[in-house]
């Protein structure tokens, strides 16, 4: 079974631009969540989607948004990029409707904002 796939793996943007990251979950998994990982801050929850509906949202500004498609693939978008948005963005999928088990992480998309 293929794992969680994230694209692109690396990208460089400049301040003010916008970026879209993509995540394909493990087949059969309906929950997709996104985390921002920065040194010293650990993993910070951005949002979670289940069956195309956003169920939970973390404490990030409205510049961060996401969506989920009918095939469970998810995208997240960051508009008006700031230097502080430089981070590793991790997507995780899970089969359950609630916290019933393991999160399977992708390898991440490393965003650098110049």
Partner 1 sequence: GENVEQHPSTLSVQEGDSAVIKCTYSDSASNYFPWYKQELGKRPQLIIDIRSNVGEKKDQRIAVTLNKTAKHFSLHITETQPEDSAVYFCAASKQNGNQFYFGTGTSLTVIP
Q: Sort 92 into a burial class: Cβ within 10 Å, 0-12 / 13-18 / 19+.
A: buried
Residues of span 4-23 touching partner 1 by CB under 8 A = 4
Q: Which is nearer to partner 1, 46 or 81 (CB)?
A: 46
Q: Is 82 in the site for partner 1 (CB under 8 A)?
A: no
In the beta sheet, which residues pair with residue 31?
50, 94
Contact 94, 74 (CB under 8 A): no
Residue with tokens 């997240």: 76
Rule CB under 8 A: choose which of 11, 65, 79, 105 binds partner 1. Answer: 105
Does position 102 interact with partner 1 (CB under 8 A)? The reply is: yes
What separation in angstroms does the CA of 41 have from each of 28, 35, 38? Answer: 31, 11, 5
Per CB under 8 A, 45 contacts partner 1: yes
Residues forming contacts to partner 1 in the complex (CB under 8 A) are 4, 31, 33, 35, 40-45, 48, 50, 55-56, 58-59, 90, 92, 94, 96-99, 102-103, 105-108
């Amino acid at each position: 079974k293929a794992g969680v796939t994230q694209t692109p793996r690396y990208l460089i943007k400049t301040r003010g631009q916008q970026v879209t990251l993509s995540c394909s979950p493990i087949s059969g998994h309906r929950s997709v969540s996104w985390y921002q990982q920065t040194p010293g801050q650990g993993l910070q929850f951005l949002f979670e989607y289940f069956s195309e509906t956003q169920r939970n949202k973390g404490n990030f500004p409205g510049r961060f948004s996401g969506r989920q498609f009918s095939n469970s693939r998810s995208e997240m978008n960051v508009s008006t990029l700031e230097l502080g948005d430089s981070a590793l963005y991790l997507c995780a999928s899970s089969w359950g409707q609630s916290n019933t088990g393991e999160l399977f992480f992708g390898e991440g998309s490393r965003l650098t904002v110049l």
